[in-house]
Structure 1
Amino acid sequence: MPSWRDSNLGTMKRAALWLVQEVGVGELFTKSQLREAFPEVAQIDRRMRDLRDFDWRIDTSREDPELGSHEQRFVKQGEPVWEPGKAKRKAGVTITAAERQGAMMRDGHKCRSCGIGPGEQYAGTYITSQLDVARRVVRLADGRESLQLVIECTRCRIGGRDLIADLGEVLTRIARLPVYERKMLAAWVEQDARKFSETEDLWAAYRTLPADSRDQIRNILRSDT
């Protein structure tokens, strides 16, 4: 492994080596430390972000709320980009501005996991959402896996980073639906929305309550039967 100080290497390769040799997997570093290590590079932050296209995981406060705004965590080492041929980008890995805008429009500028919009507050908190484009592995009906773009908020993206969407399994379940339920589902898909009943909304609210409050509601409902 070459030294990160080798000026004959490209900046991205040196940044990768700096993470491995100076920071270490699982450890924190700051923007100031990064810039002090590469004072001659004007956009060292961007060069380090390029490593994500090679399966490196570097979290900021957007992915990990416990981090400060100037902190980052080196979570996972990806391809050894300093080795010959390893720094070549795979086709379709980089998300272009046009692809990002297209994904936002197709997904209605809402998180596809929880439905929250950009800048909206999460229920019961003062925290506002941030939306971004995530790459989701989708297992197709024929068993192949496809990398597809989806809009997610930061909170859902952290929780679902390693999930694989199984399109084949969803299609199988749709095929088993009775005709009337399939038509109902088709209407929801066409509108890209579903209206929940008051009872369903109350069930969702009940599930968020502490145990003592749930017990009180359970006792009241039991008395009605």
Structure 2
Amino acid sequence: MKRVALWLVQEVGVGNVFTKEQLRTTFDGVSQVDRRMRDLRDHEWQIDTNREDPSLDPREHRFVQQGLPVWQPGVGNRKTTGSVGAVQRRAVLVRDNYLCRTCGIGNGEAYADDSAATSQLDIARRQVSLPDGSTEVQLVTECNRCRVGGRDAGSDLRAFKAALETLSAYERKMLSAWMEQDARSFNEVEKLWGVYRTLPEPARDQARSMVQ
């Protein structure tokens, strides 16, 4: 595992793609070298496959982020994160209603901007800033596209609390109702506003003249 980590840092480089064949050729004769590489994920290393990054070929990996220096004495013997087991994964999916909590798409559904691409739900780890100023990693359901596009995304409950305090009693009650339903209904004015925002500039001019 330590040798693989040094190879990734010194030969591959963060952000670059390598293949399974390159890994096995470099460590010819090393038993289960693929597994040794996967073990790095327990030490905060991020190495994506085409499951996390659909732009990759099934034979490719992308070295996304260097984690702990496992080649240093004692570091490689400590696991910082465990893998998400099947029972825990199912519990998170059920809790999140089998929906991506970033874009709202369900598993296997086609994306609106690309009917040929379908979503694949997985479990992501997200840094959450808590109201007391501490941070912790929490599990959340995300689709493969949102995981790739939001690798550095986090959640800030302190900012949420500050914004909440600016709301009126009526607005807080309305927000509470949406939270209970885990859904929000849009009235006709809001729907038309959404349509208007998608129009090209000449069409927006015409739309404004219709309202006046």
Distance change >3 Å, CA 94–CA 69, structure 1 → 2 = closer
SS in 2 for 1:200: helix
TM-score, normalised by the number of residues in structure 2: 0.86
For 2:11 and 2:146, locate their aligned partners in 1 and report how far apart those are by CA, in whole Å. 31
The match for 2:137 among 147, 171, 178 is 147
Distance change >3 Å, CA 101–CA 44, structure 1 → 2 = farther
Residue pairs, 1:75-90, within 5 angstroms: 75-87=64-76, 88-90=78-80
How many residues are treated as equivalent by the alignment? 210
Say whether residues 1:178 and 2:165 are aligned partners: no
Letter in 1 for 2:5: A
Q: After the TM superposition, which of the residue ranges 199-208 and 158-167 deviates more from structure 2?
A: 199-208
Deviation at 1:190, TM superposition (A): 0.8
Deviation at 1:38, TM superposition (A): 4.2
Q: Which has the higher contact order (CA 8 A, sep 6+)?
A: 2
**Runs of 4 or more off by more than 6 Å in structure 1?**
none
For 1:118 and 1:44, locate their aligned partners in 2 and report how far apart those are by CA, in whole Å. 32
State the partner residue of 2:202: 215
Residue pairs, 1:1-225, within 5 angstroms: 12-38=1-27, 40=29, 43-87=32-76, 88-90=78-80, 93-125=82-114, 126-209=116-199, 213-225=200-212
Instruction: Note if contact 2:196-2:207 (Cα within 8 Å) is conserved in structure 1.
Output: no
TM-score, normalised by the number of residues in structure 1: 0.82
Letter in 2 for 1:160: G
Cα-Cα RMSD: 2.2
For 1:46 and 1:38, locate their aligned partners in 2 and report how far apart those are by CA, in whole Å. 12
For 2:117 and 2:194, locate their aligned partners in 1 and report how far apart those are by CA, in whole Å. 20
Letter in 2 for 1:86: V
Distance change >3 Å, CA 214–CA 58, structure 1 → 2 = same
Distance change >3 Å, CA 202–CA 37, structure 1 → 2 = farther
Instruction: Note if contact 1:206-1:214 (Cα within 8 Å) is conserved in structure 2.
Output: no
For 2:189 and 2:117, locate their aligned partners in 1 and report how far apart those are by CA, in whole Å. 27
Deviation at 1:85, TM superposition (A): 1.3
SS in 1 for 2:117: coil
SS in 1 for 2:108: coil
Q: After the TM superposition, which of the residue ranges 28-37 and 198-207 deviates more from structure 2?
A: 198-207
Deviation at 1:154, TM superposition (A): 1.6
Give the structure with the larger strand fraction.
2
Where does the alignment leave 5 or more consecutive residues of structure 2 unmatched?
Answer: none
Distance change >3 Å, CA 200–CA 22, structure 1 → 2 = same
Distance change >3 Å, CA 134–CA 121, structure 1 → 2 = same
**Residue identity (%):** 55
